Amino acid sequence: MTTAVYPGSFDPITNGHLDIIGRAASVFDTVVIGVLANPRKTPLLSVETRIAVIEAALRDAGAAMDRLVVTSFDGLTVDFCQARQASAIVRGLRAISDFETEMQLAHNNRVLAPAVDTVFFMTSVENGYVSSSLVKEIASFGGDVSSMVPAAALGPLREALASR
């Protein structure tokens, strides 16, 4: 049985993230969505909210929840992979600039944990321009991000921005 970890902040999860999760789930038996709970960063949404939003979005999308695990982690991704007995890290690529950064991370992770490989999925064309940072910026100015994020993310995103 193959397990992969898809790590990220998911602050908030986007339709691009959901696309990558769906495609990874068609390749691996289990995909662990690792929500980074980094106390040194200040995300817009709490880790608990991000997990709840991801789970709701996956259920709404009809995902096979018995093959997906959503949980938080802090520290090195490869340590999290080893703790979950994952043989792969899943990453999404939108552009050449993503590849350069992700390649460095993949090489470093391979040095730290030679048994854990990185697998890249190209983001679908319709989601190639979407990022969580862009979503937060547009939403903070009152822009419509409903085509960029799953419906489950809209309410928590608006609430978090309103309380700022």
Q: Residues with catalytic annotation?
A: 17, 41, 94, 132
Residue 41 phi, psi (nearest 5): -115, 160
Taking only the tens place, the pLDDT of each residue in 125-150 is: 999 899 999 999 999 999 999 999 99
Q: Which residues pair with 91 in a beta bridge?
A: 120
58 with 18: CB under 8 angstroms?
A: yes
Q: Is 53 within 8 Å of 156 (Cβ atoms)?
A: yes
What parts of the chain have a pLDDT lower than 70?
none
Q: Compute the C-alpha angle 133/53/65, nearest 5°.
A: 125
Question: What pLDDT score was predicted for residue 41?
Answer: 78
What are the two backbone dihedrals, phi and then psi, of residue 121, each rounded to the nearest 5 degrees? -120, 130
Beta bridge partners of 5: 32, 89
Mean pLDDT (the chain) is 95
pLDDT at 68: 98
Q: Which two tokens stand for residue 30?
A: 């289990």
